[in-house]
Amino acid sequence: MSKLIAVGGIALAVLLVIAPAPGFAQQALEGKVVGTKLTHCDFKPGGCAGSLKLQTATGEVEIDVPLGTPIRQGSEYVYLPALRGKAVSVLLAADKSGKTARSIDVKATKP
């Protein structure tokens, strides 16, 4: 019986090491939006889709913004075209087609 428990414990440990944790492929990028491309907009929170170009410390990154992506500045929602020239933090997930935004937060500007 103790052999069975030991084997089960080892199998569980192996699964935990091999299986990625939820959200494992997500990362955050910060930078300034230097361009946006709008492909669809319902003019409601999360109703815009398209892409944005983000200028980061390491260069420009093209990010896909699917329909339903929350874009916020504080507690207010912002539309994708209004991001141009703003400093943002983008939570994204790398997928086979490139980088996809999961959420976008506009950073507060210093007076």
Q: What is the pLDDT of residues 11-23, one digit of tens each?
A: 444 333 333 444 4
- For residue 14, what are the contacts with CB-CB under 8 A and spacing of at least 6? none
Paired residues of 58 in beta bridges: none
The arithmetic mean of pLDDT across residues 86-101, rounded, is 86
Q: Tell whether the model's pLDDT for residue 94 goes beyond 80.
A: no
Q: Determine which helix (DSSP H) or strand (DSSP E) holds 62, and give its type and residue range.
A: strand 59-65
Q: Assign residue 48 the CATH number of its domain.
A: 2.40.50.140
Q: How many residues does the chain have?
A: 111
Q: Kindly list the distances between the CA atom of residue 24 and the CA atoms of 58, 91, 97, in Å, as whole numbers in the listed order.
A: 22, 12, 17
Structural domain contains residue 73? yes
Give residue 95's domain range: 25-106
Q: pLDDT tens across 23-48, in order?
A: 445 789 999 999 999 999 988 888 89
Residue 31 lies in a domain: yes
Looking at residue 110, its pLDDT comes to: 66
Looking at the chain, the whole-number percentage of residues with pLDDT higher than 70 is 72
